[in-house]
Amino acid sequence: MNADRIKVLFISRGSNKDGLGHVIRSRQVAKVMSEGCKVKVVVIGDETSESLLLNHDLDYTITPYEQHAMFHFKHFQPEIVVFDLVTFDQSNFETIRLNSKTVCLSPIFSGLAKVDMVFHRTHVRAKHWTTMTHHPVMKCGLEYAVISDHCLKIPEAVYKQNLDHDILAVAISMGGADAGNKTLALLNKMKEIPDRLLFWVLLGEGYAHSYQSLVDSVRGSRHEFILAKTNDSMWRILNTCALVILAGGTTTYEAVCAGLPSVNTLETEEHFFLIEELVEKGACAYAGYTFEESTSALRGIITRLNRNRDELLRMHLNTKGLIDTYGAQRIASEITRLYSEAEIEK
């Protein structure tokens, strides 16, 4: 079978509960693969994913039910299935695995040990991977980081101008959904920072919490807070900032690609491997072992960085050359090669 006839099914999750990072990453790889393959995208989730897939020339379906994804699998009969989600029913996964080549884009996936190939955006691997009985082909490294088309690089001269402002611009982005409303918890801590700052509070497509609660939480603060509902326009705002507070997901890698220093909060210490390489290279910072610890530490971290802006400039310079915009293309090529080699072995 020629590469241009390969059928590839992407199965992802995206909702207020699950977040939207998996959908964005799947979308980028699917767009590249659609140039030479027949591609279908199935998102298990809700309507919050719709705006991320509109106007991208993709054949996609959004369904709240995993069993509907299986219906599309049986109807589409793909040669390759690409998973980008955290959990998937084991029996359904076994059905897919027995009939298609399987690939995973998520480093945290219930079926990770049984797929044929895994893409991981850093050389640092999770400790529990060493205990896997089956060993999939592992493609690990910053070269496999998938960057959105909307991510804009910040020239050094522009970044230096951002640092020169008397009042530093700091962004907060806790993901497209922020199910736990981390944004509100962060605002309650940010207002304690003694130096006056400008905060851009970026609220994604899936943010379903009260905007009024955010406004009330910062009422009377010395800082300026701007609430912005963003999707594709997020990087137009981030290009005016000197620092961003993130949740350690796909946007952390986009920030490195763009040249924007970030301070990251994580759910648990176990997820540190996802950003460890970037921290070691001085391209971003880690605020603490748990979200609660990190929110307490952020007050001191941001105050220090505001008063020592040369440290921010060093972080900006450390990002240069680490991550490019070709991760999706590399992944697409490797997936096509996986299928071609399997065909030769038949």
pLDDT of 254-267, one tens digit each? 999 999 999 999 98
Quote the radius of gyration of the chain (alpha carbons, Å). Answer: 21
Taking the C-alpha atoms of residue 204 and residue 100, their distance in angstroms, rounded to an integer, is: 34
Instruction: Tell how far CA 35 is from the center of its chain.
Output: 23
State the span(s) of the chain assigned CATH 3.40.50.2000. Answer: 156-318
Residue (of 93, 23, 32) closest to 63 by Cα position: 23
- Return the structure tokens found at 46: 């809700």
Burial string for 297-323 (b: 16+ CB within 10 Å, else e) reads bbeebbeebbeebeebbebbebbeebb
Taking the C-alpha atoms of residue 219 and residue 207, their distance in angstroms, rounded to an integer, is: 21
Determine the Cα angle at 218 with ends 181 and 48, to 5°.
30
Show the low-confidence residues of the chain (pLDDT under 50): 1-3
CB of 252 closer than 8 Å to CB of 262: yes
CATH fold of 156-318 reads Rossmann fold (3.40.50)
Q: Which helix (H) or strand (E) holds 118?
A: strand 117-120
In this predicted structure, what is the pLDDT of residue 1? 41
Three-class SS of residue 229? Answer: strand
State the span(s) of the chain assigned CATH 3.40.50.11190. Answer: 3-147+325-345
In this predicted structure, what is the pLDDT of residue 346? 62
Taking the C-alpha atoms of residue 150 and residue 119, their distance in angstroms, rounded to an integer, is: 22
Q: Which helix (H) or strand (E) holds 187?
A: helix 182-190
Pick the CATH number of 3-147+325-345 from 3.40.50.300, 2.40.30.210, 3.40.50.740, 3.40.50.11190: 3.40.50.11190
In this predicted structure, what is the pLDDT of residue 269? 87
DSSP designation for 151: -
